Chain A
Amino acid sequence: QSALTQPAAVSGSPGQSITISCTGTSSDIGYIYNFVSWYQQHPGKTPKLIIYDVTNRPSGVSNRFSGSKSGHTASLTISGLQAEDEADYYCNSYSSSGPSYVFGTGTKVTVL
């Protein structure tokens, strides 16, 4: 049940696209289930679900957010970067060891 690995920080200019990776193992990200989700957390706020089941966006979430998975790595892409996207982002995956869920280490996104 080790935390999934994310880059500590990613930055981009307004309008650019950025991608955040989330690397795990065959027991979690690479497992047969596509139970990968992504959360956005602004300072002092509660986490917000922005992607679930690898690629799905909840109602009300901007289509600038998209998710994907390949092998043991999941990715979150933010296109058309905006100032309001500056926040911490966490991936989460089902883990067959437990079973349980495991979060990523978190990525701070800075809009330059």
Chain B
Amino acid sequence: EVHLVESGGVLVQPGGSLRLSCAASGFTFSDYWMNWVRQAPGKGLEWVANINQDGSAKHYVDSVKGRFTISRDNAKSSLYLEMNSLRAEDSAVYYCARDRYSTGSLDSWGQGTLVTVSS
């Protein structure tokens, strides 16, 4: 069974930094594109970033370019999101999700980790 577990979400001050992690199990992690998707409280889903199987291709939503970095460690079956220069509008539950067919088909999601940016 596919299992994704996010961690690292905390309360952080504006301008601060944070690293989110996603531990994967139940599938061959290195075979799949992986994504981060966020959802602010009471709001809709927002795609944040994705990374290809070997980490050589990374894409981001415009609002996080230059501030967030997605990475992966296939040996550890782990996905990461390094978040810098955090803003209040980055406050959200952050989900990691597997892209089943490399077409944006996000078939497996973690339970999410809450990031709150506030002074």
CB neighbours of A53 from chain B (8 A): 101, 103, 105
CB pair B61 A52 closer than 8 Å = no
Does B88 sit at the interface, judged by CB under 8 A? no
CB neighbours of A94 from chain B (8 A): 103-104
Q: What is the interface of chain A mostly: helix, strand, loop, or mixed?
A: strand
Contact segment of A12-20, A76-84, A101-109: A101-109
Does B109 sit at the interface, judged by CB under 8 A? yes
One of A46, A58, A90 near B111 (C-beta < 8 A): A46
Minimum Cβ distance to chain B for residue A25 (Å): 15
Q: How large is the interface on A (under 10, 10 to 19, 20 to 34, 35 or more residues)?
A: 20 to 34
Minimum Cβ distance to chain A for residue B6 (Å): 11
With both beta carbons as reference points, the residue of chain A lying nearest to B62 in the complex is identified as A1
Q: Which residue among A36, A41, A49, A58 has the maximum number of chain B CB atoms within 10 Å of its CB?
A: A49
In the complex with contacts A103-B46, A106-B44, A47-B101 CB distance below 8 A: no
- Seen from chain B, the residues whose Cβ lies within 8 Å of a Cβ on chain A are 35, 37, 44-47, 50, 59-62, 95, 100-101, 103-107, 109-112
